[in-house]
Chain A
Amino acid sequence: MMQKRSLVSMMDPNIVSGVGRVFALLLICIAMGFASPVFFTARNISLIITNASIMAILGVGLTITVITCGPDLSVGSILTITAVVAVILVKANVHFLIAFMIALCMGTALGFLNGILVTKVGLPPFISTYGLQWALFGFAYVILKGYVIYNFDADFRFIGNGYLIGPISMPIVVMVIVVFLGWFVLRKTTIGRMFYATGANRDAARMSGIDTGKAILLAFSISGFLSALAGIVLVARINACQADIGKNLLLPSLATVYMGGTRATGGQGGVFGTLVGAVIMTVVENGMNLLGVPSVWRNAIIGTLIILTVLANIAVSKQLEKAGSKM
């Protein structure tokens, strides 16, 4: 009985609001198609999905942390500092694969540090990660001193601007792998169930024998790793790196997660929703560009979007609760 109820409450919102979300995306796309003649060109669509991939890679890490205990607000800064270290190493003639490995290890370690601040020191995640980001942006600034590093080798850039087959670019490939692995870990492994259980009710999870500390450490480490990966893809794609490369990524990637239907209260959500959310977010940004919306409006629009989505999520879950209590 207990088992069945918890399964229903986990699945239902995903299916119900999942369909609604895809529908919303289609509506936005059709509206964009009317507003701008170039929207439905193959080039623009390939561009949108490629741009969405960076948001989606960050979003998968954020989704896992939001499900487990609270959002990792340092994703943008971990992305920045690891990307900076990677490009510095590459420019110092280190082989690019070794630079990637170092960046990924560093991202994981910083994520682990976030986890330690939450589990051992006892800070709420949105404080420790929000605080860490200022220090990390500071260090990125120290390393680059305001310079822009650009022009990398073709080998290095392949992961960002190469193509696998036809119009399928490497960022899309990386995104598909990350989203698939994220889905697999969350839905098909005990680790995933640990994440959901910890986020739904930490005390209950601990009492039923789940090592919640380990779950939180793992969630933040994954988020750090994926931030570093997104950073590598981003730098390889735009062929340049500066100390504020990740500064404007936090709000949109967080919006992506909530648009994907992951609940801010934890314990519910999934990565496929985040993928759709990332595409919606990118279509909106792309639309703002095509329609010539001045860039000063960008933050205001994204902030409003976050608030509206979370309000919608709250309304949906209230409806579901009502439906559940009637049953």
Chain B
Amino acid sequence: MMKGKIEGLSPIRILRSLQPVFWVTLFLMLVFNFFSSRFLSLHNIINLFQQGAVLLIVAAASTLVILSEGLDLSLGSVLTLAGITSVMTVNGGAPVSVAIGVGVLTGLLCGALTGTLIAVFNMQPFIATLGIQGVYYGISLVLTDSVAILTKNKTFIFFGSRIGYIPMAAIIGVGVFLLILYVFHHTPFGRYVVAIGGNESGTRLSGVNTTFWKWFVYTFAGGITGFAGVLLAARLEAADPIVGVGWEFDAIAATILGGTSFQKGKGGVAGTALGVLLITVVRNGLNVIRTPSILQPALIGTILIIAIVIQVGLSMRSIEKEGKNRP
């Protein structure tokens, strides 16, 4: 049992299972570059990083939750709410560090509530998070009265801007992602997440407090999504009460495309970066080749579903083959 889990985490195995999504990404990049040579220009590649940074953080959070055999459909609303509380704080005259703290704290509280419903009260993750999504969006609408709040605080906006060529958001995004990667691979928390996803009752019987760690996964995911919300608000220079709609699905899609499976805690945080790259390439590429904006949501939705079908379908087949070859 234990051996199977470690195998599931080994980088070579994950890389092999990621072949389909890698080829899809490469194919899409070539197609976009064929239609517009601007796509692979340095300027646009920097843009890609800037645009993907926030999703990278949210998707890493989503991956941790899914690895524990859970699901968080409320991340988009947490992203929104955290952005709103931090912008309101900074507009109220507080220092930027306090505003960032308030955003992260908002995320932590949201995640802690979600985690309590799931870990303590045994609610099914998708209902608990779908219901709570309504609550968090509701609070966002009430706080802002349904209108976006702008901010002009220079220091706050700085985190979403560029120094010369270098986009701050990308550096922060990649930094946070590497931090999560470290936590996942080098702390007991990461091991417990995978263990709970693989075999919850077995993990509990071997002495791990699974209720606490399950609760903690959602709280942790909420906290880092809160931080992502602050970053997004800084980049947009505003907090919009509907900015996060659909982000939770992008994050889940990136997780699945990154080779994490919904069963038995297989996969890892690293692969998610590739999923984020694919999604960002699609969103950015459609813009660069000047697809009418009215067509974009439909195209993005369709491309993502097809990519997921290819990735899940092909990787399932390769796993089955492997299983047959084994003695």
Contacts and interface: CB of A to CB of B under 8 A. Distances in A.
A141 B142 contact: no
A297 B127 contact: no
Contacts of A90: none
A138 B131 contact: no
A212 to B, nearest CB: 17
Contact of B139 (A251, A264, A265, A300): A300
Interface stretch (B27-35, B206-214, B308-316): B308-316
A294 B142 CA distance: 9
A23 interface: no
A28 interface: no
B300 A138 contact: yes
Contact of B262 (A71, A124, A300): A124
Interface stretch (B116-124, B222-230, B268-276, B277-285): B116-124
Interface residues of B, number: 46
A122 interface: yes
A97 B302 CA distance: 30
Contact of A121 (B122, B252, B312): B312
B62 to A, nearest CB: 11
A302 B294 CA distance: 30
A134 B249 contact: yes
A88 interface: no
Interface string A33-66: 0000000000000000000000000000000000
B138 A300 contact: yes
Interface centre among B123, B134, B141, B146 (most CB of A within 10 A): B134
Contacts of B295: 142
A303 B131 contact: yes
B58 to A, nearest CB: 16
A121 B309 contact: yes
Interface string B133-170: 11111110110011000000000000000000000000
Main secondary structure of the interface of A (DSSP, over half): helix
Interface stretch (A9-17, A230-238, A283-291, A306-314): A306-314
Q: Which of A138, A145, A303 has the most CB of B within 10 A?
A: A303
A126 interface: yes
Contact of A314 (B122, B136, B305, B316): B122
Contacts of A265: 124
Nearest to A144: B294
A301 to B, nearest CB: 7
B110 to A, nearest CB: 12
Interface string B290-322: 000011111111101100110011001000000
Interface in A130-158: 130-132, 134-139, 141-142, 145-146
B243 interface: no
A122 B127 contact: no
B96 to A, nearest CB: 28
A130 B134 contact: no
Nearest to B113: A307
Contacts of A122: 312-313, 316
B175 interface: no
A258 interface: yes
B130 A123 contact: no
A306 B262 contact: no
A254 interface: yes
Contacts of A310: 123-124, 127-128, 131
A126 B71 contact: yes
A3 interface: no
B246 interface: yes
A141 B142 CA distance: 27
Contact of B138 (A124, A134, A297, A307): A297
B132 interface: yes
A130 B130 CA distance: 11
B185 to A, nearest CB: 26
Contact of A303 (B71, B124, B132): B132
Given A311-B121, A314-B122, A306 B134 contact: yes
Nearest to A131: B305
A264 B127 contact: yes
A197 B33 CA distance: 51
A26 interface: no
Interface string A275-298: 000000000000000000010111
A299 interface: yes
A138 B256 CA distance: 22
Contacts of B104: none
A303 B142 CA distance: 14
Contacts of B127: 254, 258, 264, 306-307, 310
A31 interface: no
Given A258-B127, A310-B128, A314-B123, A135 B142 contact: no
Which one of A73, A126, A254, A304 has the highest number of Cβ atoms from chain B below 10 Å of its Cβ? A126
A299 B301 contact: no
B73 interface: yes
Contacts of B182: none
Contacts of B137: 299-300, 303
Contact of A302 (B124, B128, B134, B145): B134
15 contacts: A70-B126, A121-B312, A123-B262, A126-B73, A131-B304, A135-B304, A136-B301, A138-B296, A141-B297, A264-B124, A300-B141, A304-B135, A307-B127, A310-B127, A311-B121
Interface of B: 71, 73, 117, 121-124, 126-128, 130-139, 141-142, 145-146, 246, 249, 252-253, 256, 262, 294-302, 304-305, 308-309, 312-313, 316
Given A138-B297, A138-B298, 17 more contacts: A121-B308, A127-B252, A127-B256, A131-B249, A131-B253, A131-B301, A132-B301, A134-B300, A135-B297, A135-B302, A255-B131, A258-B127, A299-B135, A306-B127, A307-B127, A310-B127, A310-B131
Closest 3 CB pairs of A and B: A300-B138, A303-B134, A135-B301
